[in-house]
Amino acid sequence: MDMLQVSVWRGAASGEYRSYEVPRQESQSVLDVVTYIQRSIDPTLSYRFACRVGMCGACAMTVNGVARWTCRTHVAKVAKNNTLQIGPLANLPVIKDLVTDMREFFDKWARARGQFASGSGTTRKDGFARVAADSPERVAANAGIECIGCGVCYASCDVVSWNPDYLGPAALNRAWTLVNDVRDGARAERLAAVAGDAGCHACHTHLSCSERCPKNIAPTASIAGLKRAVALAAWKGEL
Amino acid sequence: MSGGELNYAANPVTPRRADAKLETWLWIAQRGSAVVLALCVLVHLVTIIYAVRHGLTGAAILGRTRGNTAALAFYFLYVLAIAVHAPIGLRTLCQEWLGWRAASLNWVIGAIALALFAFGLRAG
Amino acid sequence: MNNDYRSRNHPAWWAFLVHRLSGLALSVFLPFHFLALGQALQGEARLDTLLRWTEQPLVKFAEIVLVLLLAAHLTGGLRLLALEFLPWRGWQKTLLAWAAGAALAAGLAFALAL
């Protein structure tokens, strides 16, 4: 039987990569590998997962230097010479081993005004809002609403690494979907929240987020949309 | 954690409006000057290639450019666009790769812009 | 933890790096360009002296590098403008290829013109 040489990050901000030998199987995912280590070799290994079928995003880790969902990453695709390196997601504080502190990720989501705000004067008694599915705004919003907040884009973004205040691709993508939601009532505040050095203008189109997003969302496109919307607002004196 | 801390809607942290406005206008200026430069650079490249290809002498070049108001206007626009475009780009580089985010950066960048503009015009 | 070269090993990232480094190099070159131009435009004799100086092989080589940098920064910039203002999608990678090609073409045109 082939054995995988797997080096896994152990520790927190400071720590080391420790090596484990894991039997190689057919159709094995990286999550299977991590689970095997924790159950059969070292029960002190900490890691996160939930659905294990590519729906929740909880199992996101850095595999051979690249952020991925480990449940959706076949070992055969990434293991070179039967070796694997597994670490926690980048750009986030490490709690222990493969588990990161996601609070700043979600804090930034809130800072980008990633919450729907109903328009003033609207009530539950009003009729349904009518939004054409093929309207340009709805198409733009739909392109980004499948985000499940897994953090892979945030971990892949170098601007996040270089600029601690940068809101990041996921938060900005969410803001864009709301900017395009014709029912939303907080457009002005949201545009103000996403403009600036910590916002959309810090994006330099590296496209790492769009390259890595497991749901094939292109946050870069959403951020470009925000740049245009913010510029227009500034031009009109509305920013 | 208290409920207050988690109440994001009630406690948003919005960047200072002045910062947002500054960055937005810098972005607009950068893209605007980029379009102007795209045209100027194309003209510049074509002219150089033409001049080199035809082995133009100093006299010939000066003959075509001196007293030529169109050439002068073009040059002025070119230098202006550069004085806007290059410093803004350098500013981003300094912020991200040197971690220089203090207000002093804006002053230095502004000085570079003025210097480029003055130097460029003087050369013309 | 931070990312390393493995996460950056994709075309759009190289395009960013080329764009930023070429911009930096051009910014450094510009003052010298203005200086030389200022000197040269003081008269035909000065301009001819400068033109003769540029005949040297090393200078010619530097000129080719500069034109390549300029062409790369320009076409990379046009690509960025397209990414930011046009409803792009999957074809942005092709766009990158065109940008690189155009840069090379400009550099070659200059080189051949010598």
- Say if A158 is an interface residue toward chain C (CB within 8 Å): yes
Residue A20 has pLDDT above 50, yes or no: yes
Q: Which residue of A has its CA nearest to C89?
A: A221
H-helix segments, chain A = 30-36, 75-78, 103-111, 136-142, 152-156, 158-162, 169-179, 187-194, 208-212, 219-235
C-alpha of B49 from chain center: 25
Q: What angle do CA A143, A145, A148 make, to 5 degrees?
A: 125
Q: Which residue of C has its CA nearest to A225?
A: C84
Q: Check whether residue A124 and residue A77 sit in a common domain.
A: no
Place of tokens 């910014």: C27
Question: Which residues of chain C does A204 touch, with a Cβ-Cβ cutoff of 8 Å?
Answer: 16, 20
Give the 3-state secondary structure of chain B.
CCHHHHCCCCCCCCCCHHHHHHHHHHHHHHHHHHHHHHHHHHHHHHHHHHHHHCCCCHHHHHHHHCCCHHHHHHHHHHHHHHHHHHHHHHHHHHHHHCCCCCHHHHHHHHHHHHHHHHHHHHHC
Q: How confident is the model at residue B18 (pLDDT cuts 50, 70, 90)?
A: low
Q: What CATH code is carried by the domain that includes residue A133?
A: 1.10.1060.10
- Nearest 10 degrees: Cα torsion A184, A188, A191, A195: -160
Q: Check whether residue A91 and residue A156 sit in a common domain.
A: no
Residue A25 has pLDDT above 60, yes or no: yes
Mean of the pLDDT values across residues C56-81? 85
C-alpha of A135 from chain center: 27
Q: Check whether residue A25 and residue A141 sit in a common domain.
A: no
Do A197 and B15 lie within an 8 Å CB cutoff?
yes
Looking at the structure of chain C, the number of domains it has is 1
d(CA B85, CA C24) in angstroms, rounded, equals: 12
Q: What CATH code is carried by the domain that includes residue A43?
A: 3.10.20.30
Q: What's the CATH number of domain B3-123, 3.90.400, 1.10.3470, 1.20.1300, 1.10.238?
A: 1.20.1300
- Say if A89 is an interface residue toward chain C (CB within 8 Å): yes
Spans of all domains in chain B:
3-123
Distance from CA of C103 to the nearest CA of B (A): 12
d(CA A237, CA A239) in angstroms, rounded, equals: 6
Q: Check whether residue A82 and residue A156 sit in a common domain.
A: no
- Say if B45 is an interface residue toward chain C (CB within 8 Å): yes
Give the structural domain span for C24: 5-113
What is the ipTM metric for this complex? 0.88
Residue B8 has pLDDT above 50, yes or no: no
Q: What 3-state DSSP class applies to C113? A: helix
Q: Tell me the pTM.
A: 0.90
Of A115, A91, A87, A111, the closest CA to residue A101 belongs to A91
Q: What pLDDT does residue B50 have?
A: 77
DSSP letter for C107, please.
H
Q: Which residue of A has its CA nearest to B97?
A: A162
- Say if B57 is an interface residue toward chain C (CB within 8 Å): yes
Residue B48 has pLDDT above 50, yes or no: yes
Q: Which residue of B has its CA nearest to C51?
A: B58
Question: Do C67 and C107 meet the contact criterion of CB atoms below 8 Å apart?
Answer: yes
Residue after which a domain boundary falls, among A58, A81, A100: A100
Chain mean pLDDT for chain A: 94
A66-82 pLDDT, tens digit each:
999 999 999 999 998 99
Q: What pLDDT does residue C61 have?
A: 83
Give the structural domain span for A227: 103-235
A191 is written with which tokens? 């545009």
Q: What pLDDT does residue B9 have?
A: 47
Q: What pLDDT does residue B6 have?
A: 44
Order of strands, sheet of A83-87, starting from the edge strand that comes earlier in the sequence: A15-23, A3-11, A83-87, A60-63, A66-69
Residue A109 has pLDDT above 70, yes or no: yes
Q: Check whether residue A77 and residue A117 sit in a common domain.
A: no
B53-88 pLDDT, tens digit each:
777 666 667 677 777 788 888 889 999 999 999 999
Of A20, A169, C37, the closest CA to residue B65 belongs to C37
Stronger pLDDT, A194 or C111, i.e. the higher one: A194
Looking at the structure of chain A, the number of domains it has is 2
Residue after which a domain boundary falls, among A100, A127, A150: A100
Stronger pLDDT, A228 or C107, i.e. the higher one: A228
Instruction: Tell me which residue in A62, A161, A205 faces C80 most closely, judged by beta carbons.
Output: A205
B114-123 pLDDT, tens digit each:
988 988 887 7
Residue after which a domain boundary falls, among A45, A72, A100: A100
Percent of residues, chain C, with pLDDT higher than 70: 87
Pairing of strands A83-87, A3-11: parallel
Instruction: Tell me which residue in B24, B96, B97 faces A239 most closely, judged by beta carbons.
Output: B24
Instruction: Tell me which residue in B8, B14, B28 faces A234 most closely, judged by beta carbons.
Output: B28
Residue A9 has pLDDT above 60, yes or no: yes
H/E element holding C79?
Answer: helix C57-85
Mean of the pLDDT values across residues A185-206? 92
Do C110 and B48 lie within an 8 Å CB cutoff?
yes
Residue A16 has pLDDT above 70, yes or no: yes
C7-23 pLDDT, tens digit each:
999 988 999 999 999 99
Q: Check whether residue A221 and residue A190 sit in a common domain.
A: yes
Do B58 and C20 lie within an 8 Å CB cutoff?
no
d(CA B91, CA B109) in angstroms, rounded, equals: 6
Distance from CA of B43 to the nearest CA of A (A): 27
Question: Do A100 and A58 meet the contact criterion of CB atoms below 8 Å apart?
Answer: no
- Say if A95 is an interface residue toward chain C (CB within 8 Å): no
H/E element holding A9?
Answer: strand A3-11
Q: How confident is the model at residue B124 (pLDDT cuts 50, 70, 90)?
A: low
Q: How confident is the model at residue C53 (pLDDT cuts 50, 70, 90)?
A: confident
Interface test mutation site (partner C, options A139, A206, A213, A232, max chain C beta carbons within 10 A): A206
Q: Check whether residue A169 and residue A228 sit in a common domain.
A: yes
DSSP letter for C9, please.
-
Q: Check whether residue A91 and residue A109 sit in a common domain.
A: no
Residue B38 has pLDDT above 50, yes or no: yes
Q: How confident is the model at residue C96 (pLDDT cuts 50, 70, 90)?
A: confident
Q: Check whether residue A180 and residue A94 sit in a common domain.
A: no
Phi and psi at residue A16, to the nearest 5° = -160, 165
Q: What CATH code is carried by the domain that includes residue C33?
A: 1.20.1300.10
Stronger pLDDT, A12 or C93, i.e. the higher one: A12
Chain mean pLDDT for chain C: 82
Among the residue ranges A39-43, B73-77, C62-66, the one predicted with the least confidence is C62-66
C70 is written with which tokens? 């300029």
Do C12 and A211 lie within an 8 Å CB cutoff?
yes
Q: What pLDDT does residue B59 have?
A: 67
Distance from CA of B25 to the nearest CA of C (A): 16
Q: Which amino acid is at A216?
A: N
Distance from CA of B94 to the nearest CA of C (A): 11
